Amino acid sequence: MRSFTYERAADAGSAVAAVSRAGAKFISGGTNLLDLMKLDIEKPSHLVDISRLPLREIEELPDGGLRIGAQAANSDVAADTRVRTRYPVLSEALVSGASGQLRNKASTGGNLLQRTRCPYFYDTAAGCNKRDPGSGCSAIGGFNRIHAILGASSSCIATHPSDMAVAMTALEAEIELLDVDESVRRVGITDFYRLPGDTPHLETVLRPGEMITAVLLPPPPPGRQLYRKVRDRASYEFALVSVAAVVSVGQGTIDAARVAFGGVAHKPWRSPEAEAALTGRPATMATYRDAAEAALRDAVGQGGNDFKIELAKRTLCRTLAQAARSS
Query: Which residues of this chain interact with other proteins, rule CB under 8 A?
Result: 1, 3-6, 8, 27, 30-31, 34-35, 38, 47, 49, 51, 75, 78-79, 84-85, 88, 91-92, 95-96, 98-102, 104-105, 234-236
Which burial class, exposed, middle or buried, applies to 286 when counting CB atoms under 10 A from its CB (0-12, 13-18, 19+)? exposed
Question: How many Å apart are CA 74 and CA 289, to the nearest integer?
Answer: 33
Minimum CB distance to other proteins smaller for 27 or for 177: 27
* Shortest distance (Å) from residue 29 CB to other proteins: 8
Closest separation in Å from C-beta 112 to other proteins: 18
Closest approach, Cβ 52 to other proteins, in A, equals 9
Whichever of 10 and 286 has its CB closer to other proteins, that residue is 10
- In the bound state with other proteins, the residue whose beta carbon lies nearer, of 10 and 184, is 10
The Cβ of residue 134 has, within 10 Å, a number of other Cβ atoms equal to 9
Q: Are 241 and 261 in contact (CB under 8 A)?
A: yes
Least distance (Å) between residue 99 CB and other proteins: 3
H-type helices in the chain, by residue range?
12-19, 33-38, 74-79, 81-86, 88-95, 100-105, 108-112, 119-122, 164-170, 189-192, 272-278, 285-295, 307-326
At its nearest, how many Å lie between other proteins and the CB of residue 10?
Answer: 13
Alpha helices (runs of H) in 87-207, residue ranges in sequence order: 88-95, 100-105, 108-112, 119-122, 164-170, 189-192
Query: Which of 80, 172 has the CB closer to other proteins?
Result: 80
Instruction: Decide whether 30 or 301 has the Cβ nearer to other proteins.
Output: 30
Q: How far is the CB of 39 from other proteins (least distance, A)?
A: 8
Pairwise CA distance, residues 69 & 62, whole Å: 16
End-to-end CA distance of the chain: 51
Closer to other proteins at the Cβ: 35 or 123? Answer: 35
Dihedral angle over CA of 220, 223, 224, 229, nearest 10: -70
